[in-house]
Amino acid sequence: LAKKNRDKHVQYYKQEMEDQTLWRLGMIRQLRTDFADNRLELWYQPQLALKSGKVIGAEALLRWRTADGNFVSPAVFIPLAEYSGLIIDIGEWVVNQACKNIKAIEAEGFNDVGISVNVSIPQFRQDNFVDTIIDATKKYHVETSKLELEITENILMDDPQLVIDALAKLKEQGISIALDDFGTGYSSLSYLQKLPIDRLKVDRSFINDITEDGQSLLADTIIGLGKQLGLNVIAEGIEDELQEAHLISQGCDEVQGFFYAKPMPANEFLEFLKKN
Ligand code: C2E
Ligand code: MG
Ligand code: MG
Ligand code: MG
């Protein structure tokens, strides 16, 4: 009976694996055609200077609206795009779209607004990755200092030297680098000093812990570390006034979160800039 039960389990497990594989393949196929059909959108979430409240830029975030009008979360489709290699072409589209939008923002008279884009490991593995980024800024006549790349610590798991070299080249060209989701990934503090980064993004999970009876030790420590290293520190995922007040008290430089604004389409971000 034990063996029979086990076989049943194995059978069930196999079926579930097969279903999942099929589902993923289907999603990848749909992502490929939807990307080709221009169904991906780049939205923008404002970033503000904490002291002045001024909008200093935005993070560009992908949105996938399928033909039935529903959105698929980036948390679901970015890993599939990475796995399938689609992220190479999508990532190039993202950078170009962001540069185009920087130009549109300038055309409205906003001259100090930058855009951050997220980049994935497979992009770094491309020989022409740095060129792709620089070419996009040239194509749209964008000052490189207005474009920032967000990388995560996990990017170093792969081939640290390759990443450090690529970042050094990008920095040489004036591109800014932010370390995203800081404190959640493969952390090696020794690399932190070697990386040519400009900005530290405190992960949302640490901001989430800042509540009346909550724990702010990690957020505070990360902010302190960033400041000690002479980096700009931005906190992400601020949802209420209490968190904001706390971040002010800790000397955090910049903020991004639903408390200020949710990600929005490009035209709405322009309106947001005009209102602020
Ligand atoms: P991320 O880079 O850490 O982006 C921040 C995420 O936190 C976004 O989720 C944003 O909508 C969300 N967020 C911001 N403020 C708040 C808040 O106050 N409360 C809550 N609950 N959430 C907040 P989103 O847009 O779903 O993106 C998820 C992740 O997908 C991103 O995390 C990023 O890792 C990835 N992603 C998005 N766009 C791209 C892209 O163009 N390229 C790559 N490689 N990855 C991307
Ligand atoms: Mg990010
Ligand atoms: Mg983040
Ligand atoms: Mg994140």
pLDDT in tens, 28-64: 999 999 999 999 999 999 999 999 999 999 999 999 9
Does residue 119 line the site of ligand 1, with CB under 6 A? yes
Taking alpha carbons only, the member of 114, 112, 49, 60 closest to residue 247 is: 49
Digit-coded pLDDT (tens) for 182-217: 988 876 788 888 889 999 999 999 999 999 988 999
- 258: Cβ below 6 Å to ligand 1? yes
Name the residue with the closest Cα to ligand 1, atom 4. 61
Q: ipTM of the predicted structure?
A: 0.98
| Contact predicate 233/225, CB 8 Å | no
DSSP 8-state code for residue 221: H
Residue 85 one-letter amino acid: G
- Shortest CA distance to 98 belongs to which of 113, 116, 80? 116
Structure tokens at 127: 């020989």
Cβ 92 under 6 angstroms from ligand 1: no
In whole angstroms, give the CA distance from residue 56 to residue 67. 34
The pLDDT value given to residue 190: 80
Half-sphere exposure at residue 228, Cβ-oriented, CA atoms within 13 angstroms: 9
Q: Is 50 helix (H, G, I), strand (E, B) or coil?
A: coil
* Pocket lining: 268 vs ligand 1, CB cutoff 6 Å: no
Distance 230 CA to ligand 1 centre (A): 25
Atom of ligand 1 nearest to the CA of 43: 25
CB distance 238 to 215 below 8 Å? no
Amino acid, single-letter form, for residue 188: S
CB-ligand 1 contact for 243 (6 Å cutoff): no
- CA of 25 from ligand 2 middle (Å) equals 26
Closest residue to atom 17 of ligand 1, CA basis: 237
Please report the pLDDT score of residue 249 as a whole number: 96
Bridge partners (DSSP) listed for residue 199: 178, 232
The residue to mutate among 61, 120, 121, having the most atoms of ligand 1 within 8 angstroms of its beta carbon, is 61
pLDDT for 187: 65
Q: Output the 3-class SS for the chain.
A: CHHHHHHHHHHHHHHHHHHHHHHHHHHHHHHHHHHHCCCEEEEEEEEEECCCCCEEEEEEEEEEECCCCCEECHHHHHHHHHHHCHHHHHHHHHHHHHHHHHHHHHHCCCCCCEEEEECCHHHHHCCCHHHHHHHHHHHCCCCHHHEEEEEECCHHHHCHHHHHHHHHHHHHCCCEEEEEEECCCCCCHHHHHHCCCCEEEECHHHHHCCCCCCCCHHHHHHHHHHHHCCCEEEEECCCCHHHHHHHHHCCCCEEECCCCCCCECHHHHHHHHHHC
Q: What is the pTM of this model?
A: 0.95
Non-local CB neighbours of 124 within 8 Å, separated by 6+ positions? 155, 158, 162, 163, 166
236 C-alpha to center of ligand 1: Å? 10
Q: Which residues contact 254 (CB under 8 A, 6 or more apart)?
A: 47, 48, 49, 50, 56, 232, 233, 234, 235
Does residue 41's CB lie within 6 angstroms of at least one atom of ligand 1? no
Res 114: pLDDT: 98
What local confidence, expressed as pLDDT, does residue 8 receive?
77
pLDDT in tens, the chain (276 residues): 667 777 777 777 788 888 899 999 999 999 999 999 999 999 999 999 999 999 999 999 999 999 899 999 999 999 999 999 999 999 999 999 999 999 999 999 999 999 999 999 999 999 999 999 999 999 999 999 999 999 998 888 878 888 999 999 999 999 999 999 998 887 678 888 888 999 999 999 999 999 998 899 999 999 999 999 999 999 999 999 999 999 999 999 999 999 999 999 999 999 999 998
Q: Which residue, 3, 97, 107, is CA-closest to 58?
A: 97
